[in-house]
Amino acid sequence: MGKFAVIVQAGPQDGARALHGLLYADELHEAGHEVRVVFDGAGTTWVETYSAPAHRYHDLFEKVRSAGLIGGVCEYCAAAFNVKAAVVQVGLPLQGEAGGHPSISRLVADGYALLVL
């Protein structure tokens, strides 16, 4: 089986891209692949959006989160987009090992293929 890192950089205007990040992660996981979702850049805002119980894709977000597929959220970008408190409240790990951002080279070194949305 493969290893995939789904990096969600889609901003608020790119709802379909952000949604497909979750859909791809779920499908790959269901097929037996190892998956990590990383919210980066403007994509960090989706954590706050999807964690709201009234959001139409909240259940999918919770399914992906509960399955342990969310590898982290960019610490620098979560602060820049003012969603760091929401990320902490949801209980997702903040990543900042590469100058405040998640380390893409670590994911590649660990054998993950990158899917950037």
Query: Helix axis angle, 15-30 relative to 58-66, nearest 10°?
Result: 40
Give the domain extent around 106: 3-116
DSSP β-bridge partners for residue 33: none
Phi, psi of 37 (to 5 degrees): -100, 135
Comparing CA positions, the residue from 39, 45, 50, 46 lying closest to residue 81 is 45
pLDDT in tens, the chain (117 residues): 899 999 999 999 999 999 999 999 999 999 999 999 999 999 999 999 999 999 999 999 999 999 999 999 999 999 999 999 999 999 999 999 999 999 999 999 999 999 999
Domain containing residue 97: CATH number: 3.40.1260.10
Helix (H, G, I), strand (E, B) or coil at 24: helix
For 105, counting Cβ atoms within 10 Å of its Cβ (0-12 exposed, 13-18 middle, 19+ buried), the class is exposed
Instruction: Please tell me the total count of domains within the chain.
Output: 1
Q: What is the pLDDT of residue 8?
A: 98
